[in-house]
Amino acid sequence: MKYTQLNIPDIVLIEPQVFGDHRGFFMETFREDEFKKNVVPAAFVQDNHSKSTRGILRGLHYQIKQPQGKLVRVISGEVFDVAVDIRKASPFFGKWTGAVLSAENKKMFWVPPGFAHGFYVLSNEAEFTYKCTAYYAPEHERSIRWDDPSIAIDWPILPGAFPILSQKDEEGFTLENAEVFE
């Protein structure tokens, strides 16, 4: 696998080596020893799988207690995936980075604890899987507005379109008013 640190060094884009021929392909999607050596010594405790349709935006989510690190990938379709540093002591506080993840490019995205995470569906539908380092704790889940001007994420939304949001995401806080990590 190829491991690339993005503009926020704790965020890593992972590109697996894919072996393919006329019958299909094979690739490793996770290997603990390599992940610990090249990314972080994380232990994963929960796997999740979601499906969404074009124009749906989920996020920016995080857990203020039991923060989750997430290793994310798309197994069907295409999304624009984003991580925002919400660690007050970080020199990258309030900064974001993103990548297009798709079934075709097979890239994975490491979002460490202390980051808010979200994605926007670019294809007709997308299935998204992720490994988490902590269990889901809905009582600790928080949401930051996807369109917070202080973060200024450059979402690839079509002109004149508006993303489809959950009520929770419509009611998300600005970074200035959100609970963040000290």
pLDDT tens-digit map of 110-155: 999 999 999 999 999 999 999 999 999 999 999 999 999 999 999 9
Q: What is the mean pLDDT of the chain?
A: 95
Comparing C-alpha atoms, which of 1, 74, 76 is closest to residue 36? 1
Catalytic (active-site) positions: 61, 130
Distance CA 124, CA 147 (A): 22
Domain coordinates of the chain in residue numbers?
43-177
**Is it the case that residue 63 has pLDDT exceeding 90?**
yes
What is the pLDDT, as a whole number, of residue 160? 85
What is the pLDDT, as a whole number, of residue 159? 79
What is the pLDDT, as a whole number, of residue 43? 93
Confidence of residue 8 (pLDDT cuts 50, 70, 90): very high
What is the pLDDT, as a whole number, of residue 149? 97
Q: Is 3.50.30.50 the CATH classification of the domain at 43-177? A: no
pLDDT tens-digit map of 149-163: 999 999 999 778 899
Helix (H) or strand (E) holding 36: helix 32-38
- Render 105-160 in DSSP notation, one character per residue: T--EEEE-TTEEEEEEE-SSEEEEEEEESS---GGGEEEB-TT-TTT-----PPTT
